[in-house]
Amino acid sequence: MVFDRLEYLQQQIHSLRLQQPVDMLLVSNDRYLTLALTQYLFKRTRTRICSSLEEVAGFFEQTPLPRIVIDLDCIAIPVIQVLATVRRWHKEQPGINITLLTASRSPEASCFIVAAARCRVVERRLDTRILSYLLILEPCSPAPVQANYTRENDALSAREWNILMEVARGYSLKAIAVSLKKPYHSVVYTLGRMSARIGLTNRKSLIHLLHELSVVPTERNS
């Protein structure tokens, strides 16, 4: 009876904690990172660890919306899929505060991620004190924090994103032009313009980058 009562009390406490609003959602499967952030850096912050983006969506009815930190290198879906989801969240939840963590990305890849997601991208291997400082900054933080790609008019438009998604799925440029009802030369020009904006030499380099971001992070690191 005593053990049953203790178990019941533990369940009640856990239930109350679940009902409390959270300040931050951390999407990562990296136990070291989640432990460092929740037990040491943000001990006074109500942080919930999520294993998937679907879990995050369950907190969108909370007011105010919690900050969201997504670890691109320790999540079970490709980066390109994360970016597509983040873009949708920005439409559905105006003012949402999202930060993406990643490590050892090329400058061009980092620029692309910022342009696609329209949020901060932070190097995850920084000193823990610096990392914690960057994670609590407001979205309008200084440009150096937001990598090299910070100008508002550099964000990828819906039209540009649709073309990129078709390329990522492996369709030819001619097939994409037919699918989107655009002239072939318009698709070629758009890809070339986006390549130049993120520092790539040509559209083939952009296509290679898209394929790289379409790989699950665990496969990338293997």
pLDDT digits (tens, 9 = 90+) for 54-93: 999 989 988 888 889 999 999 999 999 999 999 999 999 9
Q: How far apart are CA 43 and CA 66, in angstroms?
A: 16
* pLDDT at residue 89 in the model: 95
Task: Report CA torsion sign: 93, 53, 150, 97.
Answer: positive
The yes-or-no verdict on residue 155 having pLDDT over 90 is no
* pLDDT at residue 140 in the model: 45
Spelled out in words, what is the top-level CATH class assigned to the domain 158-220?
A: mainly alpha
* pLDDT at residue 146 in the model: 40
* Lowest mean pLDDT across 55-59, 68-72, 146-150, 162-166: 146-150
pTM of the model: 0.81
The yes-or-no verdict on residue 52 having pLDDT over 50 is yes
Question: Which fold is adopted by the domain 2-154?
Answer: Rossmann fold (3.40.50)
Q: How far apart are CA 103 and CA 127, in angstroms?
A: 13
Q: How far apart are CA 46 and CA 115, in angstroms?
A: 30
Q: How confident is the model at residue 161 (pLDDT cuts 50, 70, 90)?
A: very high
* pLDDT at residue 147 in the model: 42
- In the numeric block, the tokens 């009802």 are attached to 181
Q: How far apart are CA 215 and CA 179, in angstroms?
A: 24
Q: How confident is the model at residue 9 (pLDDT cuts 50, 70, 90)?
A: low
> What are the residue ranges spanned by the domains of the chain?
2-154, 158-220
